[in-house]
């Protein structure tokens, strides 16, 4: 295989205070291959993304990005190196839509910034029409679009996105999936999406399942689909007590 590794975590564990959330997680994200992290609420998906971007310290394990060890790097440094992180609620409600995008451009030259903003508005016409409005006035779906647009302003090579579908109506989830598909089609950025909505699997090249803080499955999406047992296990099909839809606190 000639494909290059974007991000690789091995034996990664972390947690909050005395509470351990992740146990020996191995994760490989290949460049250009969309990876979907599946897991129920509380499985540790968000914590894993936070550990990857540097918001949670590693308790053990190694972490490399483009073959460099980044375990000791600050989030700012990881972002400067081409990583990007879109949290579940990643907008500045008190700022206008345009200012939300401009904040992300810290360190970019004015001309570059203008060109990036134009590109963003072409890609997200809805944001263009509301650029002067307060981001707090946007609907849930529009906020998600804005947070994704923010995540793309700096031309990242690796985008980590936490729950693109969270809080969206089924229709809006479809639109979000289409938007992400466009982002993938444009190339240049590898996506790592933490999700629990099966719709997002349409985008997946690789699936990693996290359950109870451990990786329980990792492989190409075809393998995931054909491994009926895994799929059933995850989506709770053919089980008397479905467990995935239950909203637990993360």
Check binding of 235 to another protein (CB under 8 A): no
216 within 8 A of 22, measured Cβ to Cβ: no
Check binding of 181 to another protein (CB under 8 A): no
Segment interacting with another protein (CB under 8 A) among 62-70, 104-112, 173-181, 208-216 = 104-112
Segment interacting with another protein (CB under 8 A) among 25-33, 81-89, 219-227, 229-237 = 81-89
148 within 8 A of 90, measured Cβ to Cβ: no
* Least distance (Å) between residue 3 CB and another protein: 27
- 141-145 contacts, C-beta under 8 A, 24 or more apart: 141/168, 141/169, 141/172, 141/175, 141/176, 143/89, 143/91, 144/168, 144/172, 144/176, 145/176, 145/179
Check binding of 81 to another protein (CB under 8 A): no
* Least distance (Å) between residue 74 CB and another protein: 8
State the DSSP H helix or E strand holding residue 21, giving kind and residue range, or none if neither.
strand 19-30
Candidate residues 10, 137, 155, 188; the one interacting with another protein per rule CB under 8 A: 137
* Least distance (Å) between residue 152 CB and another protein: 12
Q: Please give the Cα distance from 246 to 43 (Å, whole number).
A: 12
Candidate residues 120, 150, 180, 211; the one interacting with another protein per rule CB under 8 A: 150
Candidate residues 11, 57, 107, 167; the one interacting with another protein per rule CB under 8 A: 107
Shorter beta-carbon distance to another protein: residue 108 or 181: 108
3-state SS, residue 240: coil
Quick count: other Cβ atoms within 10 Å of Cβ 242?
Answer: 11
Shorter beta-carbon distance to another protein: residue 40 or 91: 91
- Give Rg (Cα) of the chain: 18
Shorter beta-carbon distance to another protein: residue 91 or 210: 91
* CA dihedral sign of residues 56, 34, 206, 196: positive
List the one residue out of 148, 160, 81 whose CA is nearest residue 138: 148
Check binding of 242 to another protein (CB under 8 A): no
Candidate residues 26, 66, 133, 175; the one interacting with another protein per rule CB under 8 A: 133
Q: How many residues bind another protein (CB under 8 A)?
A: 28
* Least distance (Å) between residue 200 CB and another protein: 21
Segment interacting with another protein (CB under 8 A) among 11-19, 59-67, 105-113, 217-225 = 105-113
Q: Please give the Cα distance from 112 to 117 (Å, whole number).
A: 9
Q: Please give the Cα distance from 114 to 156 (Å, whole number).
A: 17
- Binding residues (CB under 8 A) for another protein: these are 53, 55, 75-76, 79-80, 84-87, 90-95, 99, 102-107, 133-134, 137, 150, 154
């Amino acid at each position: 295989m000639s494909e290059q590794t974007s991000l690789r975590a091995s034996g990664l564990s972390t947690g909050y205070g005395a509470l351990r959330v992740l146990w020996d997680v191995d994760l490989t994200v290949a460049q250009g291959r969309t990876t979907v992290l599946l897991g129920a609420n509380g499985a540790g998906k968000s914590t894993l993304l936070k550990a990857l971007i540097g918001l949670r310290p590693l308790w053990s394990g190694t972490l490399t990005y483009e073959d460099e060890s980044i375990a000791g790097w600050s989030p700012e440094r990881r972002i400067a190196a081409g990583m990007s992180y879109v949290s579940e609620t990643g907008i500045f409600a008190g700022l206008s839509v345009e200012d939300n995008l401009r904040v992300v451009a810290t360190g970019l030259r004015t001309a570059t910034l203008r060109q990036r903003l134009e590109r963003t508005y072409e890609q997200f016409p809805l944001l263009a029409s509301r650029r002067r409005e307060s981001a707090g006035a946007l609907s849930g779906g529009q906020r998600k679009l804005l947070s994704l647009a923010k995540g793309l302003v700096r031309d990242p090579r690796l985008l980590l996105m936490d729950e693109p579908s969270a809080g969206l109506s089924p229709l809006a989830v479809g639109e979000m999936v289409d938007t992400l598909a466009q982002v993938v089609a444009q190339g240049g950025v590898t996506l790592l999406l933490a999700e629990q909505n099966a719709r997002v699997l349409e985008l997946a090249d690789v699936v990693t399942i996290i359950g109870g803080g451990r990786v329980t499955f990792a492989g190409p999406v075809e393998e995931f689909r054909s491994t009926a047992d895994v799929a059933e296990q995850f989506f709770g099909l053919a089980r008397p007590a479905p467990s995935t839809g239950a909203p637990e606190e993360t």
